[in-house]
Amino acid sequence: HRALHLASRPEGLPKDSDFELRESAPAALADGQIRIAVKFLSIDPAMRVWMTEAKSYWPPVGLGEIMRSAGIGEVVESKNEKFPVGVWVSGMTGVQDQLVSDGKGMQRFDAQRLPHPGWALSVFGATGLTAYFGLIEIGTPKAGEVLVVSAAAGAVGSNVVQIGKALGMRVIGIAGGADKCAFVKDTLGADEVIDYKNEKISDAIKQHCPDGIDVYFDNVGGEILDAVLKRLKLRARIVLCGGISQYNATGETRGPANYLSLISARGKMEGFVVIDYLHRAEEAITAMAPWVQAGKLTSKLDIVEGLPNFAEALRRLYTGKNFGKQLVQI
């Protein structure tokens, strides 16, 4: 049994030495328990937040504890008839190659029916639910409205772009670099794309959204949020999904200066956490499955091999090296 334990709280980007790989003999199963061989981990930007002492919707990971992670795996030993050997499950596996579980919080899924088992962690996992419920419930989208999405080539963002198009919105994606921007426009079908690394973001938003923005799905915060805040339409909604530009900041961070525009726009900026919607997963999957079947909603995976490369996989999110839903294969 190999597991990565949190060894120190990071300063800035997480380092390899913030984790310690420990090996131990596998525990024996008691009645009602299963052994899950973990196959893929979901690498999520919020992991950086869980590594700090900050209070969020989940408690911090304690020093010395196994690093928290969602994952999928196969049942390889079972004393629980609900989870026979050979079934695939998803849940909070932790960053380890196997775990013993009583099955609580583990969902069975049919890996054969997916283009890749990793889709249970992307479009049909928390990533897809975040995109779906964030846009539908918080963004209250309408056909013909202007939707701006940041980190648009990323896991959540790429789903939001495609759902926005499927709903008949005019979609402007923001991503870093020519390759990601081409993907957002040509593969995901965004109407326009802004390369925030090579364009002046406020000028580009003005150019592509001359009449303003109805819905902004924010994955990034910081300067991009500030630029969007200047161009809100009346009763605009901002879906506050994440603020990845701030997660590794050290010292003082400067917040948006333009948020008071929400007043004159009678606009709404609302945060949400996907865990509040997990009990409605079936509803989202039923709505998204036809889009997947029709080729309107695809899911790009970015797979790094090996448990010891977990920290490198995590860093890829904050440097933008990941191109698609970041997974670690074990």
- Residue 110 or residue 270: which is nearer to ligand NDP going by CB? 270
Our finding on whether 242 is near ligand NDP (CB under 6 A) is: yes
Residue type, 8: S
Choice between 3 and 151, CB closer to ligand NDP: 151
Compute the distance between CA of residue 293 and CA of residue 168 in angstroms, rounded to an integer: 18
* Shortest CB 225 distance to ligand NDP, Å: 10
Q: Which token pair is 218?
A: 């924010």
Query: What is the amino acid identity at position 314?
Result: L
* Residues near 297 by beta carbon (within 8 Å), at least 6 away in sequence: 123, 159, 162, 163, 166, 288, 291
List the structure tokens of 14. Answer: 């997480």
Rounded CA separation 307/23 (Å) = 12
Rounded least distance, CB 229 to ligand NDP, Å: 16
x-or-dash pattern for ligand NDP, window 198-237, by CB under 6 A?
---------------------xx-----------------
Nearest residue (CB) to ligand NDP, 106 versus 175? 175
We find the least distance from the C-beta atom of residue 161 to ligand NDP, in angstroms, to be: 11
- Contact segment (CB under 6 A) with ligand NDP among 111-119, 198-206, 225-233, 271-279 equals 271-279
The residue among 313, 287, 290 whose CA lies nearest residue 131 is 287
Does residue 245 belong to the site contacting ligand NDP (CB under 6 A)?
yes
Helix (H) or strand (E) holding 314: helix 310-319
Q: Is 314 in the site for ligand NDP (CB under 6 A)?
A: no
* Contacts of residue 284, Cβ cutoff 8 Å, sequence gap at least 6: 128, 129, 132, 133, 277
The residue range among 96-104, 106-114, 226-234, 317-325 that interacts with ligand NDP, by the rule CB under 6 A, is 317-325
Choose one: 38-46, 205-213, 290-298, 306-314; the region binding ligand NDP (CB under 6 A).
38-46
- For ligand NDP, give the closer residue by CB, 107 or 246: 246
CA–CA distance, 176 with 179 (Å, rounded to integer): 8
Cα gap 147→172, rounded to integer Å: 6
| Residues 93-152, interacting with ligand NDP (CB under 6 A) | 127, 130, 151
Q: Tell me the DSSP string of 146-205.
A: EEEESSTTSHHHHHHHHHHHHTT-EEEEEESSHHHHHIIIIIT--SEEEETTTS-HHHHH
Q: Which stretch binds ligand NDP (CB under 6 A): 14-22, 73-81, 87-95, 318-326?
A: 318-326
CB closer to ligand NDP out of 103 and 157 = 157
**Quick one: which of 41, 67, 95, 153 contacts ligand NDP (CB under 6 A)?**
153
Question: Which spans of this chain sit near ligand NDP (rule: CB under 6 A)?
Answer: 44-46, 127, 130, 151, 153-157, 175-176, 180, 219-220, 241-245, 272-274, 317-318, 320, 322
